[in-house]
Copies of this chain bind each other. A is one copy, B any other.
């Protein structure tokens, strides 16, 4: 077997074009510093030789890889998927590529993934939420890597997070239900373990209820994973014994879809007998026979702003950007006045 031919490199381009390697490099990265004529000559040689710059070599020399690492809990949640897609799209506009990893809602795994990403030399890191493995922040700090926590907004940590204020959103949504006359609430929640966003939403509900001195019956509080089927089961568990709550708050889009489907299966009239509301807005929610009232967060906007914030941080530019994303209540048919 003949020895594999050495790949063509910048030196070959330089040789063929009859210039130095520095000039070729400059022609590629700072075209304005190279004379028109050489630039054209070099471009044609590059084209002719089909030279593709070697990323690792460039990364070694510049100490920047042009990659951004992201660790998301899951990709199968439509909102994360949309945010990642927007993030990737926006980053690629600035020449960055996304290195993606999944924590599967496991802090230990998140830590490992972050570690790996740092080894890969990412220029910045994106995480979800503010609650992480205790060593994560040390690792990021020690390596001095810009990072952003997404899907949360916390005025106290301004500049490091992009997303909605989860607590505020559910505080508003709960008050909306209170104004409709509801006094007895059920909650179908995502487990708040390792999930500060889910926790913040619960806090929002509790704060709003506490202000009116409304308490939630323990049997009206169900917590679990997420998914449509999970939503059905948790909803059913809440309705095991009467009296039923007049309004059920779901901590997640899929849970609310499950709750509504189950309510239909049980023959409950929504919203006449019971109001059901969700969080997040996936297409499903507006297409069901009973469209679901929810809090709409534009996930792609979260992704886009995250990208811009990251790029600003990497390039040390000022952040001219609102980091708190809107969380707007979208009223649909699934909510209405409390049954008299």
19 contacts between A and B (CB under 8 A): A53-B119, A54-B60, A54-B121, A55-B120, A55-B121, A60-B60, A74-B85, A84-B100, A85-B102, A88-B100, A88-B102, A92-B101, A92-B116, A97-B120, A99-B100, A228-B287, A254-B283, A261-B287, A284-B284
The answer for the CA separation of A84 and B99 in the assembled complex, in Å, is 12
Q: Is A143 an interface residue (CB 8 A)?
A: yes
Q: Is A164 an interface residue (CB 8 A)?
A: no
A99→B52 contact, CB < 8 A? no
The interface residues of chain B lying within 8 Å CB-to-CB of A98 are 99-101
Contacting B at CB under 8 A, from A88-140, are 88-89, 92, 97-102, 104, 113, 115-121
Q: Copies per complex?
A: 2
Q: Is A232 an interface residue (CB 8 A)?
A: yes
The interface residues of chain B lying within 8 Å CB-to-CB of A75 are 75, 81-82, 84-85
Q: Is A1 an interface residue (CB 8 A)?
A: no
The interface residues of chain B lying within 8 Å CB-to-CB of A56 are 56-57, 59-60, 65, 121
The interface residues of chain B lying within 8 Å CB-to-CB of A113 are 92
Q: Is A142 an interface residue (CB 8 A)?
A: yes
A102→B116 contact, CB < 8 A? no
Q: Is A227 an interface residue (CB 8 A)?
A: yes
The interface residues of chain B lying within 8 Å CB-to-CB of A88 are 100-102
Q: Chain A interface (Cβ within 8 Å of chain B)?
A: 50, 52-57, 59-60, 65-67, 74-76, 78, 81-82, 84-85, 88-89, 92, 97-102, 104, 113, 115-121, 142-143, 227-229, 232, 254, 257-258, 261, 264-265, 283-284, 287-289
Of B60, B81, B283, the residue contacting A227 (CB under 8 A) is: B283
A52→B228 contact, CB < 8 A? no
The interface residues of chain B lying within 8 Å CB-to-CB of A81 are 75-76, 81
The answer for the CA separation of A208 and B65 in the assembled complex, in Å, is 51
Q: A81-B75, A85-B76, A283-B227 are in contact. Are A52 and B119 (CB under 8 A)?
A: yes
The interface residues of chain B lying within 8 Å CB-to-CB of A227 are 283
- A78 CB, min distance to chain B CBs, angstroms: 6
- A65 CB, min distance to chain B CBs, angstroms: 6
The answer for the CA separation of A100 and B99 in the assembled complex, in Å, is 6
The answer for the CA separation of A236 and B174 in the assembled complex, in Å, is 37
B50→A142 contact, CB < 8 A? yes
The answer for the CA separation of A265 and B289 in the assembled complex, in Å, is 7
B121→A284 contact, CB < 8 A? no
Task: List 8 tightest A-B contacts by C-beta distance, closest first.
Answer: A56-B59, A75-B81, A56-B60, A100-B100, A55-B121, A55-B120, A75-B85, A228-B287
- A76 CB, min distance to chain B CBs, angstroms: 5
The interface residues of chain B lying within 8 Å CB-to-CB of A258 are 287
- In addition to A57-B60, A228-B283, A229-B283, 16 A-B residue pairs with Cβ atoms within 8 Å of each other are A52-B119, A54-B121, A55-B121, A56-B56, A56-B121, A66-B120, A67-B99, A75-B75, A78-B78, A88-B100, A88-B101, A92-B113, A97-B116, A97-B117, A232-B287, A254-B283
The interface residues of chain B lying within 8 Å CB-to-CB of A289 are 261, 264-265
A89→B102 contact, CB < 8 A? yes
The interface residues of chain B lying within 8 Å CB-to-CB of A53 are 119
